[in-house]
Amino acid sequence: MPLIAEVFEVKKDDFVSAGEVSAKIKRTLKKLGVDSAVLRRISVCSYEVELNLVIHSLGGTIDFSVDQDGVTLLVKDCGPGIPDLNLAMREGWSTAPESVRTMGFGAGMGLPNMKRNADEFDIQSTVGVGTEILMKFHLK
């Protein structure tokens, strides 16, 4: 039985509220007394995945839950999907358009940052369908 289960919607190209879901998740976990180092790792992952939804996807959801074992982020979008996951996971590889690169996005570090900071990381993607990312964080 989860202690907390919330679903956040993230819209494509919504730079005005970009980062707000991550801020909410951080606030909730801080109230629960989650250790600050673990909290920062969760924040890095939620932020990177949230911004990828804004920049690269057609929109999606972040399913945030907490139970005895830890924190889970399940992220699903409605496309366009990633053609080559090995390439996408590589540091420095990005298809970010020029318009967002001028804002400081597009280092090609988001997915590698998620993989490094999550205790469990899984990504599945189908072109024309969408991308699904599952991240888990253990709480001691």
Partner 1 sequence: MNVAELAKILDAKVLNPEADTAKEVKSGYVCDLLSWVMAKGAPGTAWITVMNHMNVIAVATLLDMACVILPENIDIGEETLSRATEEDIPVLCSGKTSYELAGLLFAQGIPNPVK
Q: Using CB under 8 A as the criterion, which residues of the chain lie in contact with partner 1 when the complex forms?
A: 15-16, 18-19, 22-23, 26, 36, 40, 43-44, 47-48, 51, 103-110, 112-113, 116
Specify the 3-state DSSP secondary structure of 76.
strand
Quick one: what does residue 38 bind among ligand ATP, Mg ion, partner 1, none, with the CB cut-off 5 to 8 Å set by partner type? none
Q: Which is nearer to ligand ATP, 64 or 105 (CB)?
A: 105
Strand-by-strand arrangement of the 120-126 sheet: 4-10, 60-67, 70-77, 130-138, 120-126
Residue 96, both tokens = 């970010």
CA–CA separation, 120 and 106 (whole Å) = 24
Quick one: what does residue 23 bind among Mg ion, ligand ATP, partner 1, none, with the CB cut-off 5 to 8 Å set by partner type? partner 1
Task: For the CB of residue 72, give the shortest distance to ligand ATP in the complex, in Å.
Answer: 18
Closest residue to ligand ATP in the complex (CB): 110
Angle (nearest 5°) at CA 40 between 113 and 103: 55
